[in-house]
Amino acid sequence: MATRSQTAALLLAGALALAACGSGGASPSPSASGGSRTLVIDTSFDLKTADPGRTYEPTGLIVGKAVYETLLTFDGADVTKPVPALAESYELSEDGRTLTLKLRQGATFADGSPVTADDVVFSLTRVRDMKGTPSFLLDGVDVAKTDDSTITLTSKTANPTLPFILPNPALGIINSKLAQQHGATTDPQDKAEQYLNSSSAGSGPYQIESFNVSSQVTLKANPAYHGTKPAYDRVVIRNVEAATQKLNVSRGDSQIALNLSGDQVAGMPATLQVTKTPSANVIFLLANQDSAVSGTTTNAKFVEAVRKGVDYAGLLELAGEGSALAPGIIPSQLLGALPASQAPARDLEGAKAALAASGLGNPTVKLEYPSELTVNGLSFQPLAERIQANLKEVGITVDLQPAPVTTALDNYRNGKEEMGLWYWGPDYPDPSDYLLFLPGKTVGLRAGWKEGASKEVEESGEKAAAAIGDEARTAAYADMQNQLNAAGPFVPLLQPSQNIVTAASVTGLAYHPVWTVDIADLGVK
């Protein structure tokens, strides 16, 4: 993810990997009682707030998706095409600068008041100007009410990404009058977070019943919801370490476990459903292009030797069922991803030839990575060890340098790693988020790849950023990735599996790369 969300996710994920979290709250019976259906979801909390203008953590997005509605959304797990939600239609101008949305009529907030254009303008302006974590989503975007049913979003430059950003639960529309009564403003002086952590000011299918960032969140069905009534009357989301998640779902104390590794889902009882899907996280290698950091990794033939010397099939086997190889840096779910047919394969002889052509002899390099971090249950340590063994066969000695996540992250962000093993998950499900891998951009600079380092790659990025329309964008981002693979310092490896276990009674589950699971889409047998 970009600098905002990735840092928080890495730090907290590392902490969760080290410290076990108990449920920390009441453990309601998952069975129906008195005609009421309760769904219990176990997950490892990455949660700070229920205020949509401030949330950007995975657990917060699950809650936000249930409580608040956005102007646009996605149909199930498909993130290649935004579809109407509170807006019944939208249109992007030919120059990509103006997005016009028509509001749906009849939508109401939890208190029964109608959702208006004024609520939309207030909500989006608040996110942008309050300077919370998700404010960057609307950087440079002017929000205006054209009439009572029309909203116009105007960007300073072409912004074809905007329809893919608007479904983010951080951009949920709040009841502006109610929120303002409790301290909501459109500036950094906003004081509504405490109220929004305990009450609902949204129009979504659920309301907040109780909220605790360290133990448990309880949601109840919104009786004023204008859409299809959700299947569950009550949803309990508990903070539980992975080992206990497995135990709870196996014995029926919960109906969903979100954070199990490939090893943990192996051998699950036949009565449970196991969904294994490539996550939107892409694990990659970087080779630093700053000569002040390394005289080895700046050698283009050395990078070629690494790229050809990695045993991708072996890494995929290590990652487990449900994982997928990464043909490029953009994950398979997103528009512009390279086809699976372009997935890399090892070329050991080609790697040895490239190393010989480099003139480096038998080089030694340091590979840094966060020691305690796991991504979708997959640890970096065995991946690093496998890469070390792969490159030894090529003639490259890899000195493994694991470090606590805070130390490793500091070196990574400051471009000090000779080689690094990291991951990237999308801030929003659009390929433009991966322009940050270009020379002179955020991730490019972390690899010491400065502006002007590759004219061809930079030009391909500029064309991708300016492309309008799905077909043109798909082709442009595919070309950008091919250029990156040919000349860049990054080696995309794989997308680890997102493993979700559900009781046989739960239907309609689909992994989503933004909000993980849409609670309102879940049914019951």
pLDDT digits (tens, 9 = 90+) for 266-299: 889 999 999 999 999 999 999 999 999 999 999 9
Burial class of 29 by CB neighbour count within 10 A (0 to 12, 13 to 18, 19+):
exposed
State the Cα torsion 169-512-514-445 to the nearest 10°: -170
Question: Considering the domain 282-495 in this protein, what is its CATH number?
Answer: 3.10.105.10
CB burial of 258-275 (b: ≥16 within 10 Å; e: otherwise) equals: bbbbbebbeebeeebbbb
User: For the residues of 79-102, what is the DSSP string, one character each?
Assistant: EEEEEESSEEEEEE-TTS-EEEEE
User: Where do we find the tokens 């990659």?
Assistant: 284
Tokens representing residue 133 in the block = 């974590």
Confirm if 279 and 498 have CB atoms less than 8 A apart.
Answer: yes
- Between CA 495 and CA 498 the distance in angstroms is 9
Angle between helices 380-394 and 312-319 (to 10 degrees): 160
pLDDT at 442 > cutoff 80: yes
pLDDT at 201 > cutoff 60: yes
CB burial of 123-145 (b: ≥16 within 10 Å; e: otherwise) equals: bbbbbbbbebbbbbbbeebebeb
User: Where do we find the tokens 């959700």?
Assistant: 230
Q: How confident is the model at residue 118 (pLDDT cuts 50, 70, 90)?
A: very high
Length of the chain: 525
pLDDT at 47 > cutoff 70: yes
Confirm if 39 and 235 have CB atoms less than 8 A apart.
Answer: yes
**For 319-334, what is the mean pLDDT?**
96
- Between CA 339 and CA 375 the distance in angstroms is 23
pLDDT at 30 > cutoff 70: no
The DSSP 8-state label assigned to residue 258 in this structure reads -
Please, what is the average pLDDT of the chain? Answer: 92
The pTM of the full predicted model, rounded to 2 decimals, is 0.88
Q: What is the pLDDT of residue 374?
A: 85
Q: What is the pLDDT of residue 208?
A: 97
pLDDT at 8 > cutoff 90: no
> pLDDT tens, 210-224?
999 999 999 999 999
Confirm if 141 and 128 have CB atoms less than 8 A apart.
Answer: yes
**For 329-342, what is the mean pLDDT?**
97
30 vs 454, higher pLDDT: 454
Domain spans of the chain, in order of start = 3-276+499-524, 282-495
Annotation: CATH topology of 3-276+499-524: D-Maltodextrin-Binding Protein; domain 2 (3.40.190)
Alpha helices in 201-311 (DSSP H): 242-251, 262-265, 300-309
Share of the chain above pLDDT 90, in %: 89
Q: How confident is the model at residue 301 (pLDDT cuts 50, 70, 90)?
A: very high
Q: How confident is the model at residue 5 (pLDDT cuts 50, 70, 90)?
A: very low
State the Cα torsion 107-108-113-117 to the nearest 10°: -40
Angle between helices 405-413 and 3-18 (to 10 degrees): 160
Q: How confident is the model at residue 35 (pLDDT cuts 50, 70, 90)?
A: low
Confirm if 106 and 166 have CB atoms less than 8 A apart.
Answer: no
Q: What is the pLDDT of residue 513?
A: 92
User: For the residues of 359-419, what is the DSSP string, one character each?
Assistant: T--S-EEEEEEESS-EETTEEHHHHHHHHHHHHHHHT-EEEEEEE-HHHHHHHHHTT--SE
Q: How confident is the model at residue 4 (pLDDT cuts 50, 70, 90)?
A: very low
> Residue 153's closest CA among 81, 83, 97?
97
Q: How confident is the model at residue 372 (pLDDT cuts 50, 70, 90)?
A: confident
